[in-house]
A and B are shown apart, each in its own frame.
Chain A
Amino acid sequence: MAIFMPMDKLVTSIKPPSGLTLGVRELWHHRELFYFFTWRDIKVKYKQTYLGIVWALLQPLGMMLIFTFLFSRTWKIDTGPVAYPVFVLAGLLCWNLFYSSVSHAGDSMIQNAHIIRKIYFPRLIIPCSAILVALFDFLIAFIIFLILCPLLKQSIDIAALVYFPAGILLTILAAAGLGFWLAALNVKFRDFRYALPFLLQLLFFASQVIYPLQGIQRPLFKWLLAINPVNAAIELFRAPLSNRSPDMTIVLIGTGSSLLLLIIGLFYFRKTEAYFADLA
Chain B
Amino acid sequence: MKPAIEIRNLGKQYALATAAPYLSIRDMISDSVKSIFKAKKNNDQFWALKDIDLDIQPGERIGIVGRNGAGKSTLLKIISRITPPTTGEVLLRGRVGSLLEVGTGFHPELSGRENIYLNGSILGLKKTEINRQLDAIISFSGIEKFIDAPLKHYSSGMQLRLAFSVAAHLEPEVLLIDEVLAVGDQEFQKKCIAKMEEVSKQHGRTILFVSHNLKAINDICQKAVFLEQGKNILYDDVRKVTSHYIASLDAGVNTRKLDNTTSKKIFIEEVKTFNGEKATSSTFTGGEKIGIAIRIRNNDWRHGFTISLGLNAISKGRVWRSQQFFSAENSSSSREFIAWLPGEMLAPGSFSIDIAILDDKKESLDFLTDALNFEIPVANTKFEDMDYDYGVISKEANWQEI
Chain A residues engaging chain B, CB cutoff 8 angstroms: 6-17, 32-33, 36, 40, 43-44, 47-48, 114-121, 187-191, 274-275, 277-280
Q: How many inter-chain residue pairs (CB < 8 Å) link A and B?
A: 120
B24 contacts partner chain A, Cβ-Cβ < 8 Å: yes
Q: Are A115 and B91 in contact (CB under 8 A)?
A: no
Verify if B122 is at the interface (C-beta below 8 Å from A).
Answer: yes
Once the chains bind, are B24 and A32 in contact (CB under 8 Å)?
no
Q: Are B85 and A10 in contact (CB under 8 A)?
A: no
| Size bracket, chain B contacts | 35 or more
Q: Does B195 contact A (CB under 8 A)?
A: no
Q: What is the interface of chain B mostly: helix, strand, loop, or mixed?
A: loop
**How far apart are the CA atoms of A188 and B23 in the complex, in Å?**
6
Do A6 and B173 contact each other (CB < 8 Å), given the known contacts A14-B81, A44-B109? yes
Cα–Cα distance between A173 and B123 once the two chains are bound (Å): 29
Q: Is B126's CB within 8 Å of the partner chain A?
A: yes
CA separation between A280 and B26, bound complex, in Å?
18
Q: Pick the residue among A6, A36, A274, A277 that contacts B121 (CB under 8 A).
A: A36
Is the Cβ of A16 less than 8 Å from the Cβ of B22? no
On whether the beta carbons of B94 and A6 are closer than 8 Å, the reply is yes
> Quick check: A119 and B85 within 8 Å, CB to CB?
no
B123 near A10 with CB under 8 A, answer no
Scan B153-189; emit 1 where CB is below 8 A from any A CB, else 0.
0000000000000000000010000000000000000
Cβ of A275 and Cβ of B93 under 8 Å apart?
Answer: no
21 A-B residue pairs with CB within 8 Å:
A7-B1, A7-B4, A9-B95, A10-B92, A10-B94, A12-B90, A13-B92, A16-B86, A33-B122, A36-B121, A40-B107, A43-B109, A115-B104, A117-B82, A118-B100, A119-B82, A119-B105, A119-B123, A120-B82, A189-B28, A278-B83
Tell which of B2, B24, B104 touches A119, judged by Cβ atoms closer than 8 Å: B104
Q: Decide if B94 touches A36 in the complex (CB within 8 Å).
A: no
Least Cβ distance of A116 to chain B in Å? Answer: 8
Chain B nearest CB from A115 CB (Å) reads 5
Q: Are A32 and B110 in contact (CB under 8 A)?
A: no
A8 to B94 Cα, complex, angstroms? 7
- A7-B2, A36-B122 given; name 19 further pairs at CB < 8 Å: A6-B95, A7-B4, A14-B85, A15-B84, A15-B88, A15-B89, A17-B84, A36-B118, A43-B110, A114-B104, A115-B105, A119-B80, A119-B105, A119-B122, A187-B22, A189-B23, A277-B77, A278-B83, A279-B23
